[in-house]
Structure 1
Amino acid sequence: MSGVLRLVLGDQLTRDLSSLADLDPATDVVLMAEVIEEVTYVRHHKRKVAFLFSAMRHFADALRAEGIQVDYVRLDDPANSGSFGGEVARAVSRHEMRQLIVTEPGEYRVLAAMRDWQDQHDIAVEIRNDDRFMCPPERFADWADGRKQLRMDFFYREMRREHDVLMDGKEPVGGKWNYDAENRESPDLSLAVPAPLSFAPDTITKEVLALVEDRCAGHFGALDDFGFAVTRAQALEVLDHFIAQRLPLFGRYQDAMIEGEPWMYHSHIGFYMNAGLLLPAEVVRAAETAWHNGHAPLNAVEGFIRQIMGWREFIRGIYWLKMPDYAEMNFLGASRALPDFYWTGATGMNCLAQSIDATRRYAYAHHIQRLMVLGNFALLAGIDPRYVNEWFLVVYADAYEWVELPNVSGMVLFADGGYLASKPYAAGGAYISRMSNYCDNC
């Protein structure tokens, strides 16, 4: 057959993917596969697996609706080889293809495997850049060249200028690049925090939930009340809901924590951006438009945009610049094992118990819970970065190694010795008491 086999991974669920750019529906085949190797190389949270499998199946249906041939391998297919490489080999045989095109993955481990496929499977392999991001790795490497330490703030300013976001000519709107000084208010316990947008599982999602409950029975997490968006249309609804109901107060309360309230004013779209259902550029423009329209204040919009085109792009740049050595860094020589309560939640420390409970139930905790509660304890206790990284990669539905590893090793644990962050983010109980009501019941 003269067509091209195009592999789409579970975190690449967008029609704008580089590997699909020149697809010919008449001759090409899209391969998608649920493989046990990716579910169990770390034992991912049940909710994360269910979200990705359901989103993958919905995306496959959307491609088929365009008239594209999709070869979709389910986890419970008796012939499933259990690995990406094995499924590529089977698909090459089935379709008699001689060329494979794939977009670069989000993990060094997978990229290293892909580079061997050409020899292993006697097929020409083209690995394309992932242009969903706002800063290609080559551009980041140019910016980082010659710098002994990297600081997100300077990189963020470059991105603002390059993409003309919140700019007034050559200067930032409002006269400042950063409005964090206005974004550190303690929680107002009288706030009526909007409920997160949730979607009732359809037939596809129900099938996936049953499959995951069966095949991942021993994995961390719960599947009760599953309500994640699993299509692009639903993810866009979540974005619109955030812009309309949460963004105006996001800045003021982005660091605040309230007992029994895991969602606060955060966007809850990291799952969807990292899986491809939303693109960072469109999210940034939606927030910027809210400011231009007078719907949200500048401190909220700037702080939100900084997390995406600043921090998110910066973290990815460091990952690809420094891997594979970055994964082995342990500047502080931390060596303790991860306490069992990170898995069970059985601890008398209310801040940790609250954050772990939300993580177990929803595969989610917001960035201050992750950094200043869960991560802060691991830093102070001297937990080995290998164990902390594995835990964070397992438990969050938005966690992929490119985003998890630099955040944890660099920002949380100072394991890179200050390459990413200017200081360890260590704090005592006074900070948590000021920014939450957790200590009231501890």
Structure 2
Amino acid sequence: MTRHLVLVLGDQLDAEAAAFDGFDPAQDRVWMAEVAEESTHVASSKPRTALFLAAMRHFAAELEARGRPLDYRRLDEPGNRGTLAAELADAIARHAPQALVMTAPGDARVLAALRATAAAQGLALDVREDRHFFGSVRDFAAHAKGRKQLRMEYFYREMRRRHGVLMEGPDGADPAGGQWNYDAENREGFGRDGPPAHPPPPAFAPDAVTAEVLALVAGRFAGHPGQLDDFAWPVTRAQALQALAAFVEQRLPDFGRWQDAIWPQEPWLWHSQLAAALNLKLLNPREVVAAAEAAWRAGRVPLPAAEGFIRQILGWREYVRGIYWTRMPGYASLNALGAHAPLPDFYWHGATPMACLADAIGQTLRHGYAHHIQRLMVTGLYALLLGVEPQAVHAWYLAVYVDAVEWVELPNTLGMSQAADGGLMASKPYIASGKYIERMSGGSLCARCRFRPAERVGERACPFTTLYWDFLMRHEARLAANPRTVMQVRNLARLPDDERRRIAERAAAIRGGALETPPAG
């Protein structure tokens, strides 16, 4: 007889998670299932699906090595029912547990499905706090209560104080170096000579388990986007720890300086590529933050670099989770700017005459990865300026990136990238013309493009630049009321009516598909 059936999802690969508290191998059993629904509710890319399945199978082997009884359902087993709900109902029928136990999941859709299944079976579902994070959802709700506006900066400072991260002074109340952030010293663009020499992240050759998964995904999801030829992501905790150590030692020292820079055919640069391992729970954010802070205190990493990286983990990552769980399910349907254009087809194949988009999307489909500026200020910016429906942008990001789990991807996409939440998450829309991309890439992307970032109208005008001015015209009243965008609107006021008309006409042609390029073959 089974006392507890402990449910473990594909992004909960932590043997010390709360779901295992009090686990008794004589009475309890772990349940895991690979199901097609998790790769088809959005068209999950091949690298993303492969990463989840390979990491799950390695974690299952670890659980068995620890002596934890395991019911594991593989995707390629005959009779696989295709959904978590159906597979769980079958496991309940076979094991007759007295109760179900799980750590809080990262997807509201999954939580709702599992709760409904438990209720239909007349079983209690014990959803336990996810200790992986620095703070709980209740902590964030307390932070947000009574505030007219939520701002990550204030939340981040509160988290620094609470957890004693990068703090100094007699009572540990002062930020290290006397400043809370070092953006002014970070975020340089590359000059025309491009990035200096930099070591690549460690690559993990597929072992037999991962190779089997790659073959399964290539066959089962042949029509899904993405490629598997270069798959080398960490799929075990040991590999994730190796990736963390290599980043801190080799790339973190220059991370701050170059964190916003882009260069063609350079997917990794100084970024950590640790988000996927963090989101699968192969790494704990505390050990990641501690490693970065220790490297600074030992004099191996400049403070601006350590702070800029820690801000991403202790600040943004915790902040977006709080936004997600305190605002769902309604948050997913927000569309404050009334954007309803379809997502251009080239987002799924990368064939576009815009060099920056072709580079970022091609890299994304090849590796399942792009760094935050490529996401926010290339693929995200174009969709925002074009007026794409934010839910379509969300579905694309959730599908293509290996580190995409809804709790972190949805607020970053709808709130920060697409400004669809009306300013809840970010104080302004992140909008810019093609000149921003030219500056941050040292002109390298624009030099290989037929469009010119300084031109607003005409056949040579950069679509980013045309759409930027069109965006200002379409949302002029809203942007004029925002102190952080009022200067951009004042620049708009200098344009003569004839040029405004020409911008609007060119923008309409772009939205009508003038730049769509079918893939070769």
1:189-224 per-residue CA deviation (whole Å, 9 max, x = no partner) reads: 251121121111111011101110111111010000
Structure 1 residue 213 corresponds to structure 2 residue 218: yes
> Matches of 2:88 and 2:401 in 1, distance apart?
28
> Matches of 2:41 and 2:230 in 1, distance apart?
26
Structure 1 residue 383 corresponds to structure 2 residue 393: no
> Matches of 1:354 and 1:144 in 2, distance apart?
39
Shift of 1:346: 1.0
Structure 1 residue 273 corresponds to structure 2 residue 273: no
Q: Residue 416 of structure 2 aligns with which residue?
A: 411
Counterparts of 1:79-228 in structure 2 under 5 Å? 79-168=79-168, 169-187=172-190, 189-228=194-233
Give the letter for the 2:300 counterpart.
H
Residues 148 and 419, structure 1, Cα contact 8 Å, conserved in 2:
no
1:315-368 per-residue CA deviation (whole Å, 9 max, x = no partner) reads: 000001111111111111111001111111111111101100110000000000
> Matches of 2:43 and 2:83 in 1, distance apart?
15
Give the letter for the 1:12 counterpart.
Q
**For structure 1, which runs of at least 5 residues remain unmatched after alignment?**
none
Residues 336 and 384, structure 1, Cα contact 8 Å, conserved in 2:
yes
Structure 1 residue 312 corresponds to structure 2 residue 317: yes
> Matches of 1:184 and 1:79 in 2, distance apart?
52
Q: Residue 284 of structure 1 aligns with which residue?
A: 289
Normalising to structure 1: TM-score of the pair? Answer: 0.98
Q: Residue 401 of structure 1 aligns with which residue?
A: 406
1:393-418 per-residue CA deviation (whole Å, 9 max, x = no partner) reads: 10101111111111111101111111
Provide runs of 4+ in structure 1 moved above 3 Å: none
> Matches of 1:98 and 1:30 in 2, distance apart?
14
> Matches of 1:191 and 1:356 in 2, distance apart?
24
Percent identity, aligned pairs only? 56
Shift of 1:26: 2.0
> Matches of 1:69 and 1:232 in 2, distance apart?
20
> Matches of 2:332 and 2:119 in 1, distance apart?
27
Shift of 1:302: 0.2
> Matches of 2:21 and 2:54 in 1, distance apart?
23
Sort the Cα spacing of 1:45 and 1:441 in 2 relative to 1 into closer, same or farther, 3 A.
same
> Matches of 2:12 and 2:69 in 1, distance apart?
17
Match of 2:375 among 364, 370, 376: 370
Shift of 1:118: 2.7
Structure 1 residue 347 corresponds to structure 2 residue 352: yes
1:121-166 per-residue CA deviation (whole Å, 9 max, x = no partner) reads: 2322211121211110000000001112210000000000010000
Sort the Cα spacing of 1:142 and 1:94 in 2 relative to 1 into closer, same or farther, 3 A.
same
Give the letter for the 1:369 counterpart.
Q
**Secondary structure of 2:319 counterpart:** helix
Residues 369 and 401, structure 2, Cα contact 8 Å, conserved in 1:
yes
Structure 1 residue 230 corresponds to structure 2 residue 227: no
Give the letter for the 1:187 counterpart.
F
Counterparts of 1:323-334 in structure 2 under 5 Å? 323-334=328-339
**Secondary structure of 2:439 counterpart:** helix
**Secondary structure of 1:101 counterpart:** strand
Structure 1 residue 439 corresponds to structure 2 residue 446: yes
With 18-27 and 118-127 compared, the bigger mean Cα shift is at 118-127
Q: Residue 458 of structure 2 aligns with which residue?
A: none
Q: Residue 519 of structure 2 aligns with which residue?
A: none
> Matches of 2:292 and 2:101 in 1, distance apart?
34
Q: Residue 55 of structure 1 aligns with which residue?
A: 55
> Matches of 2:248 and 2:318 in 1, distance apart?
21
Residues 410 and 420, structure 1, Cα contact 8 Å, conserved in 2:
yes
> Matches of 2:329 and 2:381 in 1, distance apart?
25
**Secondary structure of 2:30 counterpart:** strand
With 329-338 and 94-103 compared, the bigger mean Cα shift is at 94-103
Shift of 1:114: 2.2
- The one of the two structures with greater contact order (alpha-carbon pairs below 8 A, sep at least 6) is 1
> Matches of 2:123 and 2:229 in 1, distance apart?
43
**Secondary structure of 1:365 counterpart:** coil
With 106-115 and 177-186 compared, the bigger mean Cα shift is at 106-115
> Matches of 1:5 and 1:352 in 2, distance apart?
46
Q: Residue 4 of structure 1 aligns with which residue?
A: 4
> Matches of 2:288 and 2:222 in 1, distance apart?
35
Match of 1:241 among 236, 242, 246: 246
> Matches of 1:22 and 1:297 in 2, distance apart?
43
Give the letter for the 2:447 counterpart.
D
Shift of 1:438: 1.1
> Matches of 2:96 and 2:335 in 1, distance apart?
47
**Secondary structure of 2:437 counterpart:** helix
Residues 193 and 265, structure 1, Cα contact 8 Å, conserved in 2:
yes
Shift of 1:187: 1.6
Give the letter for the 1:131 counterpart.
R
**Secondary structure of 2:320 counterpart:** helix
**Secondary structure of 1:100 counterpart:** strand
Shift of 1:439: 1.1
**Secondary structure of 2:435 counterpart:** helix
Shift of 1:115: 2.1
Residues 329 and 415, structure 1, Cα contact 8 Å, conserved in 2:
yes
Residues 137 and 320, structure 1, Cα contact 8 Å, conserved in 2:
yes
> Matches of 1:391 and 1:149 in 2, distance apart?
29
Residues 92 and 98, structure 1, Cα contact 8 Å, conserved in 2:
no
**Secondary structure of 1:318 counterpart:** helix
> Matches of 2:277 and 2:33 in 1, distance apart?
19
With 308-317 and 88-97 compared, the bigger mean Cα shift is at 88-97
1:369-399 per-residue CA deviation (whole Å, 9 max, x = no partner) reads: 0000011111111111111111111010111
> Matches of 1:122 and 1:81 in 2, distance apart?
21
**Secondary structure of 1:127 counterpart:** strand
